[in-house]
Structure 1
Amino acid sequence: MKNEIYGHFHPDERQFVDKAWEWVTHAGEYHETKLTEFLDPRQGYILQSLVNRHPDVEVRWEGGSEGAERKRALVAPDYRDLSDEDMELKVLAISSGEQKFLSLEHGDYMGAILGLGVKRGKIGDIHVLEDGCHVVVAADIADYLAMNLTGVHRINVSTELLPLSGLRSSEVKLETMELTVASLRLDGIAADVTRLSRSKILIPIKAGRVRVNWKVEEDPSCGLKDGDMVSIQGFGRFKVLEIGSLTKKGRYRVRIGKFV
């Protein structure tokens, strides 16, 4: 069964596949429940596909908002009613009286939180608002964060813990770019978006630091299509919003949204 499952996933994902399959089999055969840390969409896809393979297991997902990207999963035997289960989420509300605070971005908050020694899996979506920031966090580290997060990017901040019902979610902000490219290859489009040379963009791709739709992609010739999400470690991420018509010279018009 293991080898059959492995065939569907990238070798780098085997460790997570092992862990997820263990959660599923323990729920189905030993009646155990497992509340996971926050999973990214790729991990969520893997876990859901494994749950679908086991007739006696179900899963509940929760990330705080309807369109949440990162979610916790509760894996359980299928006879359990999971609708009232505590998913152990809190909202960390961050505010400040300093004017510069309003210019802080997603990465500033992420850096400050991870700088406190918190694992990425304990942090859900970060919602940057016009007057502050709401972060969905695991309940077991909420008090620690509220006590210790006193500054973000050298700006003094104050924090408050709210129930999940107090979450204010934000719209994702995208900076759009119009490109004309010779092909839809990953390396070509990523080089244009990051303003790196084709040879320099190959370095993170070959090193496994680029993900397409949250899956590691090491093939620079991989073709991108509408809706694809690309993240490059150290350079942020972008989404292919639209692949348009060809120019007279046979180049593709591509509209890109860079996450800001």
Structure 2
Amino acid sequence: MEKKNFKNHFIDEDEDIISSVYDKIELCKRIEGTVYTDIFLFPQIWSKLIEIEAELGVLIEAKGLSLESEKKMVAFKSYYSDERVEFPFKLIVVKTNSKFDSLEHRHYLGGILSTGIKREKLGDLIVEGKNCYAIIFDGLFEFLKLNLLSIGRSKVTVEEVGDRDIPQYRFEEKEYLMNSYRLDVIVSALISGSRNEALKMINSSQIMVNYRLKTNKSLTVKKGDVISIRRYGKHIFEGSEGETKKGKIKGKFKKYI
């Protein structure tokens, strides 16, 4: 597949990322081996790669923290290669024994990124109790272990874990009454704030839909869309549960916890 045609499958994505992915596919063909992406890709990219696998002329495998993970590393394997796919990442757990602080997803993420590690080198995170499970590039594990010693006032340790140690994602399900499916209306509901507050957040680039920044207040949110709100977490729109007698929409959402 020519590069121009390849890019046409990813019109809304970052051009540099898509070009890098294409180059890795071409490298895979040239060396007749296995090549891996050097960042974790969002689902709209890795799922499309799997969808067009036959057209690309290579075998494609995507893997993340768990089967349900959104961010995944992708392996491109030549049809002529017998080598086993060995993803260059490590599954880790960040542990704290603090009796006073209750660390959340945002605290762990901020702590890891404060070491200088770039977000794209880190996959999904799952927080369970006083542990945060994550996936990170192989070469960054020792660096993180040496440099992430505390998060806020809490001392932490970083250890490698196996597949079986990774917990399932947990969600909090909620229902909100809304006047429409517009982005500003939905953000207002999710933050339990006014439309003006929602508009300020949208206009100041604090809202992402399906991992892309959105500044169009009238954007229609559809079932399955992922809405990320700075300081308010990530939510999946599960659709409508009908309407009230007064015509309000019963919107159902799942929030990552």
Q: Shared fold by TM > 0.5?
A: yes
Name the structure 2 match of 1:170.
Answer: 168
Name the structure 2 match of 1:190.
Answer: 187
Secondary structure in 2 matching 1:253: strand
Query: What amino acid is aligned across from residue 86 of structure 1 in structure 2?
Result: E
Q: Percent identity?
A: 25
Name the structure 2 match of 1:53.
Answer: 55
Q: Report matched runs for 1:171-250 at 5 Å.
A: 171-174=169-172, 176-205=173-202, 209-250=206-247
Q: Report matched runs for 1:75-90 at 5 Å.
A: 75-81=76-82, 84-90=84-90
Name the structure 2 match of 1:35.
Answer: 36
| Change beyond 3 A, Cα 1:192–1:59 | same
Structure 1, residues 98-131: CA drift from partner, whole Å, max 9, x if none? 2135x21111111100000001122122221224
Query: What amino acid is aligned across from residue 112 of structure 1 in structure 2?
Result: G
Name the structure 2 match of 1:18.
Answer: 19
Question: What TM-score results when the alignment is normalised by the length of structure 2?
Answer: 0.85
Gaps of 5+ in 2: none
The alignment's C-alpha RMSD in Å is 2.6
Name the structure 2 match of 1:133.
Answer: 132
Q: Give the C-alpha shift of residue 91 in structure 1.
A: 2.4
Q: Give the C-alpha shift of residue 239 in structure 1.
A: 1.4
Alpha carbons 1:91, 1:161 under 8 Å: kept: yes
Query: What amino acid is aligned across from residue 192 of structure 2 in structure 1?
Result: R
Structure 1, residues 204-229: CA drift from partner, whole Å, max 9, x if none? 54566533233444433232233321
Secondary structure in 1 matching 2:127: strand
Query: What amino acid is aligned across from residue 80 of structure 2 in structure 1?
Result: Y
Question: d(CA) in 2 for partners of 1:45 and 1:64?
Answer: 16
| Change beyond 3 A, Cα 1:166–1:232 | same
Determine whether 1:74 maps to 2:75.
yes
Number of aligned residue pairs: 255
Name the structure 2 match of 1:160.
Answer: 159
Determine whether 1:62 maps to 2:63.
yes
Q: Give the C-alpha shift of residue 180 in structure 1.
A: 1.5
Gaps of 5+ in 1: none
